[in-house]
Amino acid sequence: MKFAGTSLRALCAAALIATSLPVTAQVTETVAKHHMIAAANPHAAQAGLDMMRAGGSAVDAAIAAQLVLGLVEPESSGIGGGAFMLVYNPKTRKTTSFDGREQAPASATPTMFLDAAGQPRAHFDPIPGGLSVGIPGVVRMLALAHKKYGKLPWAKLFDPAIRLAEKGFPVGPKMVRQIKAMQSRVSDMPDIRARFFHADGTPLAEGETYKNPEYAATLKKIAKDGPDAFYKGEIAQAIVDAVHHAPKNQGGMTLADLAGYRARERAPVCGDYRQYHLCSMGPPSSGGIAVLQMLGMLQRFPSEQLTPGTLSGAHLFAEASRLAYADRAQYLGDPAFVNVPIAGLTDKGYIASRAALIDPAHDMGTAVAGDPPEKHAALSPQVSPVLHGTSHMTIVDDKGEVVAMTTSVEFIFGAEIFAKGFLLNNTLTDFSFQPVRDGKPVANAPAPGKLPLSAMSPTIVFDKDNRFLVSVGSPGGPAIIDYVAQTLVGILDAHMSPKDAISMPREINMNGITLLEKGPGAETLAAQLTAMGHTVQVPEVEGSGLHGIMRVKNGYIGAADPRRDGIALGD
């Protein structure tokens, strides 16, 4: 993947290091009989587990965990951001999804990220500040899911986060790593400096007690008055004020924008892979379609040729990934604004035709989008490098209800501005900065009321008898797609345990450079791939944060990515 300039490459590298630990770090695997949660922080996982112990559903657990994540991992997700939630209902044996993606305000325009000369600004120019802030969607989405699947009272789900915010908690290693890695960028932002740095300018240290009474007060109001307390009244006014009066890049969000936001329940995208059936998130996320495409293309090859870490496995995975990312760049966007050819992109015949382009012996180079068998507009592919400050959780409750939820404020520390104790997102930078390329519109161009494209890929897999088998998801920006797809290949084709599949070195190709996470054998594999025509890089770490749960005889096993602070807990 080619980035526009040295400073962006350096920032991206810092972000990867900040979000990750070497894969040699200890990874745990948890076994449970009744219910389980795998989440990005022990406090969040414990909050979810406590809700299920109290008789709550997987959705109840997800809400409690998300509210805690906004406190203990604010650099990655929170109520000032957005999320996608996939829910499997064991009674109906159906899967649905909830869309809490951030939305562009009415003030957004197609040219909002162009400079005075009409050229796209550098990707991180609009951050920090209010211009990049989308209307937060998490609270409305959680309320919508709770209305349909919640068992415990709404207010009870807020108790763990309120208690931690008031009494404090010891700062974890991930937050400390990210503060230090981003220090030169964020330390001059007043909101960040006031909350994460001491008076002498030194950042918080691991183990220090961190409190956020302002966040506790916000949660109390939402717990008492429901989601309207967030989207109307003093909290909404605080969001608008923060956006309008940001130290840099002021935005135009209004109270009417917030009051008008609606979360949506959507049909997931589903398809088959060998004897398995998968469901994942559809547009405005590109994740589900891309994962289905990649697995569909890899189905052409025997499982033994796909083993991660082998030459054939890495090459074939990279080629399928190239093709999926090419389609993603051209066709994917908000389905309310773009006629996304979902059926065509996931058509088995079309996927087979794309798979036929894969040469088992040579790298194809930059892939171009295909021509799916469904009416679609003449579009130009976007060029928009993105990194997310994102989190994921996977949950199974006593009744077999499954939740896979990926949640984000976009980049690390979002827009770097706070409102009422929570960070605001910078998700509008997920739009293509170029609304038109080569005389053709870009599907993911900004527009008023539009949802930016995402790569979040919460995924649930079912066995040949249509029983829940495994669920995974990850943070990681556009690389989420590869993180999830590679993990599924590891579990379904190589028969790896969730622990091994989640912790194995990552292999990525977003239709550019082939990235191999540094580890045993990586340099040898890189040389072999180079001989096949790949341009290869071997970074120290990659920024995955996978969480997964798998059904086994008499219960479940779960695992969390060793690159972050996550854990799986269950009874």
Tell me if residue 390 is catalytic: yes
Peptide bond into 22 cis (omega under 30): no
| 384 within 8 A of 433, measured Cβ to Cβ | yes
For the chain, the straight-line distance linking the first and the last C-alpha, in angstroms and rounded, comes to 43
* Pairwise CA distance, residues 116 & 122, whole Å: 13
In angstroms, rounded to a whole number, what is the distance separating the alpha carbons of residues 394 and 261? 26
Give whole-number Cα distances, 313 to 111, 486, 539, in Å: 42, 10, 19
Cα dist. 235→213, 217, 240 in Å? Answer: 15, 10, 9
- Residues 144 and 83: beta-carbon distance below 8 Å: no
> Which of 390, 406, 427, 514 does the annotation list as catalytic?
390
b/e map 428-443, b = 16+ CB within 10 Å: bbbbbbbbebeeebbb
Residues 383-419: b if buried by 16+ CB within 10 A, e if exposed: bbbbbbbbbbbbbbbeebbbbbbbbbbbbbbbbbbbb
135: DSSP letter: B
* Count of CA atoms in the C-beta half-sphere (13 A) of 371: 1
DSSP secondary-structure letter at 453?
Answer: P
Helices first, then strands: H and E counts in the chain = 19, 23
The answer to whether the CB of 430 falls within 8 A of the CB of 456 is no
- Between CA 357 and CA 353, with CA 435 as vertex, the angle to 5 degrees is 15
Give strand pairing partners of 317.
Answer: none
- Active-site annotation, residues: 390
